[in-house]
């Protein structure tokens, strides 16, 4: 006997994601889900962004890691409110975890909430969290073939940050063709904004900050 079911398998996650999205939209908060490999520089990018936009945008952070609250400690040093989620082995954050974290953040006082997902270029992009958009981060040491090899996140992100530009400029032995990354990414994602940056030196951050300020302003104006 065959029975048609037609049910979404990740329905439970989607319901939480929907709840998160309602909450964030109602309160006009921008929420960005950062996805990358481990070690691409997500936390360092966040710390610089929080410090340099301090007077313009109030930022809170949800940190996802498999173990430890080392990243939350680094963010805490900026005085920004931060909630650490330890996934204890899971390779991605889910919407229920983000839902609990959101209720523990003082979101009334914030304009922008960054979710720093678990370092992983594959799994996190399959789980909607209710975010306003995804930010992909790729550092130049990871190789310029990643958008072609791991298309899911590059196809869905609103912004791609190409980090560790200082290594290219310093003439390090890194084979990385920025134009190839841009072309491969845009094949599947015409609207994506791409900024080449160095979280270490601050190079290239102006475009990223302009984009963030515009997004926050658009949301407030609605």
Partner 1 sequence: MHETMVAQNLLATISDEAVKQNAKPLSAKISCGTLNAINDDALCFAFEAIAKGTNCEGIKLEIEHKPIQGQCKNCNERFDVVISHPYCPECNSENFDLLPDAPLMLEEIEFETE
Quick one: 8 or 222, whose CB is closer to partner 1? 8
Q: Tell me how far, at minimum, the Cβ of 185 lies from partner 1, in Å.
A: 11
> What's the CA gap between 156 and 74, in Å, rounded?
28
| CB proximity list for 220: less than 8 A, separation 6 or greater | 28, 111
Tell me which stretch binds partner 1 (CB under 8 A): 98-106, 121-129, 163-171, 173-181.
121-129
Q: In the set 23, 96, 105, 123, which binds partner 1 (CB under 8 A)?
A: 123
Q: In the set 52, 178, 188, 193, which binds partner 1 (CB under 8 A)?
A: 188
Quick one: 29 or 92, whose CB is closer to partner 1? 92
Quick one: 91 or 178, whose CB is closer to partner 1? 91
CA dihedral of residues 135, 152, 89, 44 (deg, nearest 10): -20
Nearest to 140 by CA among 190, 191, 197, 183: 197
Restricting to residues 3-22, which ones interact with partner 1 according to CB under 8 A? 3-13
**Can residue 67 be called a binding residue for partner 1 (CB under 8 A)?**
no
Q: In the set 20, 163, 189, 198, which binds partner 1 (CB under 8 A)?
A: 189
Site size toward partner 1 (CB under 8 A) is 31
Q: Tell me how far, at minimum, the Cβ of 146 lies from partner 1, in Å.
A: 14
Q: Tell me how far, at minimum, the Cβ of 123 lies from partner 1, in Å.
A: 4
Tell me which stretch binds partner 1 (CB under 8 A): 1-9, 31-39, 107-115, 213-221.
1-9
> What's the CA gap between 121 and 92, in Å, rounded?
10
Q: Tell me how far, at minimum, the Cβ of 117 lies from partner 1, in Å.
A: 12
Asked whether 189 and 154 are in contact (CB, 8 A), the reply is: yes
Quick one: 190 or 222, whose CB is closer to partner 1? 190
Secondary structure string (H, E, C) spanning 158-204:
CEEEEECHHHHHCCCCCCCCHHHHHHHHHHHCCCCEEEECCCCCCCC
**Can residue 148 be called a binding residue for partner 1 (CB under 8 A)?**
yes
Tell me if residue 208 falls in helix, strand or coil: helix
Buried b (16+ CB within 10 A) or exposed e, 184-206: bbeeebeebebbbbbbeeeebbe
**Can residue 155 be called a binding residue for partner 1 (CB under 8 A)?**
yes
């Amino acid at each position: 006997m065959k029975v048609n079911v037609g049910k979404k398998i990740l329905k439970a996650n989607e319901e939480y994601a929907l709840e998160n999205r309602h909450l964030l939209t109602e309160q006009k908060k921008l929420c960005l889900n950062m996805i990358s490999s481990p070690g691409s520089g997500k936390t360092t990018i966040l710390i610089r962004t929080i410090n340099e936009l301090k007077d313009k945008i109030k930022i809170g952070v949800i940190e996802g890691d498999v173990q430890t609250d080392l990243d939350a400690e680094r963010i805490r040093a900026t005085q920004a409110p931060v909630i650490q989620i330890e996934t204890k082995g899971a390779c991605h954050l889910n919407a229920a975890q983000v839902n609990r974290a959101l209720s523990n953040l003082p979101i009334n006082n914030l304009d922008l909430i960054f979710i720093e997902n678990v370092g992983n270029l594959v799994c996190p992009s399959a789980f909607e969290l209710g975010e306003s958009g995804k930010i992909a981060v790729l550092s130049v040491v990871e190789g310029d073939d990643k958008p072609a090899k791991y298309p899911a996140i590059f196809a869905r992100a609103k912004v791609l940050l190409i980090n560790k530009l200082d290594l290219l400029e310093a003439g390090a032995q890194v084979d990385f063709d920025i134009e190839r990354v841009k072309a491969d990414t845009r094949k599947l994602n015409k609207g994506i904004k791409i900024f080449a940056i160095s979280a270490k030196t601050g190079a290239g951050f102006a475009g990223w900050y302009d984009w963030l300020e515009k997004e926050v302003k658009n949301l407030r104006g609605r």
